[in-house]
Amino acid sequence: MIQGHRNPFGKALRDYTVAELDFVLEMAALDDPEHYSFSRAGAKDAPAAAMTGWVNVLREPLKQRYLELIGVAQGIRSVAAWQARATGGLKPGFSRKTPPADGPGG
Q: Does 65 bind another protein (CB under 8 A)?
A: yes
Say how far apart CA 13 and CA 17 lie, in whole Å: 9
51 is an interface residue for another protein by CB under 8 A: yes
- Closest CB 57 distance from another protein, rounded Å: 4
Find the radius of gyration of the CA atoms of the chain: 24
Site for another protein, residues 70 to 99, rule: CB under 8 A? 70
> Can you name the residues that pair with 2 across neighbouring β-strands?
5
Cα 47 from Cα 70, distance rounded (Å): 12
- Interface residues with another protein (CB under 8 A) are 46-47, 49-51, 53-54, 56-63, 65-66, 69-70
